[in-house]
Amino acid sequence: MIFCKIDSALLGIIKKEANGRTIIDCGAGDGLLGSITNNIISLDIFPPEKPLSKIIMADCETFKFPSKCLPVFIRPCHSGFPLATIENNIDKFETVLYVSEEKNIDSDLGYIAEDFNIERIGGWVGEDGEFCYRITINEKKAENMKTFVLVKSYLGAKGQYERIGWFELGELDERHKLHKIYHGKGFSYCYIGKDDEILETIEAENWDAVETPENKTKNTWYQNLVKDATDKSLKIGWLAPDGKMHYCRYENHITYVHEILESDVPTVEEQGWIHVYADAEAIMPNSGKRMTQEQARTAREELGLKVFDDDIQYQ
């Protein structure tokens, strides 16, 4: 019985990780993986009578693994043998691949998952919500580290255009069988879809360590925010105290503050920034404040908005 469908996407991840190394299918079951790729050794303590490929009857926990190999555990039974196998070869393995549902990690890997770095790789999602994880042996996991992923997703009814952005990797949603991903320092989330692709993974303590200038340039959201900031046809956005208008799209007012100004709305409003709304005929400063003369000039001459003299701070 085949418990996990191995398609071309998952096979591609495994072969990329192997990078020419011998693949060891630990607990091979019916030998499905060995039937669709070469350079592989399939092991199972109870091989079936009619396997799909050659399987060596062996106990993975005591098997003498060849050097420079890539052990792979695909939907292993929850007997603890993945933990024992890795533990008995802790000095021989550099990386191990583990394919299963997230809820099985603790029971299958025990302290290995707690002590060593384990990260989801590739964009593959199995029929039952499985993911492929890379375990880096002898690379100790730093405390309080979080996982951030650069995700490519396709938007529109037919996926007409792509969006690339950084997210904090969250928990698995049991209902949808998809991982939650948090954008903008945790204030909102969406899901990694089955057609989405993880381009990069970073282990870091917080967003500040991820949002480097180099990483931001990879983010199409950030690129579009920068591009829109000078697009006068948008007509809305944020008017700075120095009179400079920062344009943005209707849905990006808050995102612009977080991503470009690296602040939050209450803070920038307290500093004198004015939120310019769509279809407004007049502009008014935030409650209890007056706008600068530079802001009034931009509002009248560039935006074509009415400004009341009582709302201007004259020096």
Q: pLDDT by residue (tens digit) across 269-280?
A: 889 999 898 877
Distance in angstroms (rounded) separating the CA atoms of residues 76 and 26: 8
* Tokens (6 digits) for 80: 């603890």
Sheet arrangement for strand 197-204: 188-191, 178-183, 161-173, 146-155, 197-204
Question: How many helices and strands, by DSSP H and E, does the chain display?
Answer: 11, 15
pTM of the model: 0.51
Domains of the chain, start order = 1-139 (3.40.50.150), 142-215 (no CATH), 221-311 (no CATH)
**The pLDDT value given to residue 243:** 94
CA distances from 132 to 39, 45, 282 (A): 20, 23, 55
**The pLDDT value given to residue 2:** 67
The letter for the amino acid at 46 is F
Query: pLDDT digit string (tens) for 99-150?
Result: 999 889 988 998 888 888 899 998 888 888 889 999 998 766 566 678 899 8
* Dihedral, 135, 137, 138, 140 alpha carbons, nearest 10: 10
Distance in angstroms (rounded) separating the CA atoms of residues 108 and 73: 10
From first to last of the 315 residues of the chain, give the pLDDT tens digit: 566 888 899 999 999 999 999 999 999 999 999 999 999 999 999 999 999 999 999 999 999 998 889 999 999 988 889 999 999 988 888 999 999 998 899 889 988 888 888 999 988 888 888 899 999 987 665 666 788 998 888 765 555 567 788 888 888 877 777 888 887 655 567 888 878 888 888 888 888 788 788 888 888 878 889 999 999 998 899 999 999 999 998 878 888 888 788 888 888 988 999 989 887 788 877 767 888 999 999 999 999 989 888 888 876
CA distances from 311 to 18, 129, 182, 265, 294 (A): 66, 57, 39, 21, 12
Residue pair 85/36 in contact (Cβ under 8 Å)? The answer is: no
